[in-house]
Amino acid sequence: MKEVHSYWAYLVLAILIFAVVNAIIGLTQKKQFTDKDLRIGLFTLIVTHIQLLIGLAWYFMSPWFEALTNDASTVMKTKEVRLLAVEHPSMMIIAIILITIGWSKHKKKTTSEGKFKTFAIFYGLGLLVILSRIPWSNWI
CB-CB contact of 118 with 109 (8 Å): yes
Q: Please tell me the predicted confidence (pLDDT) of residue 35.
A: 96
Q: In the chain, which stretches have pLDDT less than 70?
A: 138-140
The neighbour count for residue 134, using CB atoms within 10 Å, is: 16
Q: Please tell me the predicted confidence (pLDDT) of residue 119.
A: 97
Q: Please tell me the predicted confidence (pLDDT) of residue 98.
A: 98
Sequence-ordered strand ranges (E) for the chain: none
Of 5, 18, 16, residue with least CA distance to 51:
5
Q: Please tell me the predicted confidence (pLDDT) of residue 5.
A: 83
- How many whole angstroms separate alpha carbon 26 and alpha carbon 121? 13
CB-CB contact of 113 with 28 (8 Å): no
CA triple 22-37-12, angle to 5 deg = 65
- How many whole angstroms separate alpha carbon 54 and alpha carbon 37? 26
Q: Please tell me the predicted confidence (pLDDT) of residue 37.
A: 97
CB-CB contact of 18 with 120 (8 Å): no
Q: Please tell me the predicted confidence (pLDDT) of residue 82.
A: 87
